[in-house]
Structure 1
């Protein structure tokens, strides 16, 4: 079980690190750009981050559920729910803006795209918070505290 616990912890730590980096560093830096380059930078970044972050959330959540099933430790269940909550949150809350932003051509960038990207940044911070909660729960479960 140690290997599964470690794998779950690593998947969630990688997800959380990426999510926090995007929210605390990458997106604020990108927001200082003018509208055209702001949109032009966000679109490929989003395309590249999507499979990585979604895969890490699924891997961490499923591995955490297996550890919970084996150990019966509620922290693994709660952490798994927290990390897997990123999926419905993203699909329900964030996806409408994501689709609008991805459909925009760079020459359409302006007040609307900036407002959507500002909103996106606030919404993405929730993903980092869910990851941090899962990471804390998994860490506590792994250490037995």
Structure 2
């Protein structure tokens, strides 16, 4: 019974992480690009700050759940899925956070031209994160269905 609960929670939180990433990549980011740079920058900070806690919680739960389920069931591909989720941590900290900080004005004021370039770079980096999390979710889903 406990294994089923862990599996369910892992699938749920990975799916929520992947779903959010897809939404941001397909809807939020293009919306920012279709508005003025000033409007996009004004909107970026509250969206970013509003999503940090939930994404951290969902990702951490998925990582721990995948590792726990893999160990408890000797199905080590679940650990591989967790490793894919873990990859997003350095991707975020090393590549995305510097862009986030500039867009939120933490690194001083930036010109509209620079902000526009940063939003485009941010979108590419977000798509990389989205694909990684989506692969983890598909792996977990496949393992859950065909075990």
128, 134, 137: which is aligned to 2:130?
128
TM-score, normalised via structure 1 length? 0.93
SS in 2 for 1:54: helix
CA shift digits 1:41-66 (9 cap, x unpaired): 11111111111112211110111100
TM-score, normalised via structure 2 length? 0.91
The equivalent residue for 2:67 is 65
1, 4, 15: which is aligned to 1:2?
4
36, 39, 42: which is aligned to 1:37?
39
Kept after mapping to 2: 8 A contact 1:35/1:109 = no
Q: Distance in 1 between matches of 2:146 and 2:103?
A: 44
The equivalent residue for 1:25 is 27
Q: Distance in 2 between matches of 1:126 and 1:51?
A: 20
The equivalent residue for 1:96 is 98
Kept after mapping to 2: 8 A contact 1:61/1:83 = yes
- 5+ unaligned residues in a row in structure 2: which ranges? none
Q: Distance in 1 between matches of 2:111 and 2:56?
A: 27
- Deviating above 3 A after TM superposition, structure 1's stretches of 4 or more consecutive aligned residues are none
The equivalent residue for 1:55 is 57
The equivalent residue for 1:114 is 116
Indicate the RMSD between aligned Cα atoms, in angstroms. Answer: 1.6
CA shift digits 1:94-136 (9 cap, x unpaired): 111111112269x755011111111001100111111111111
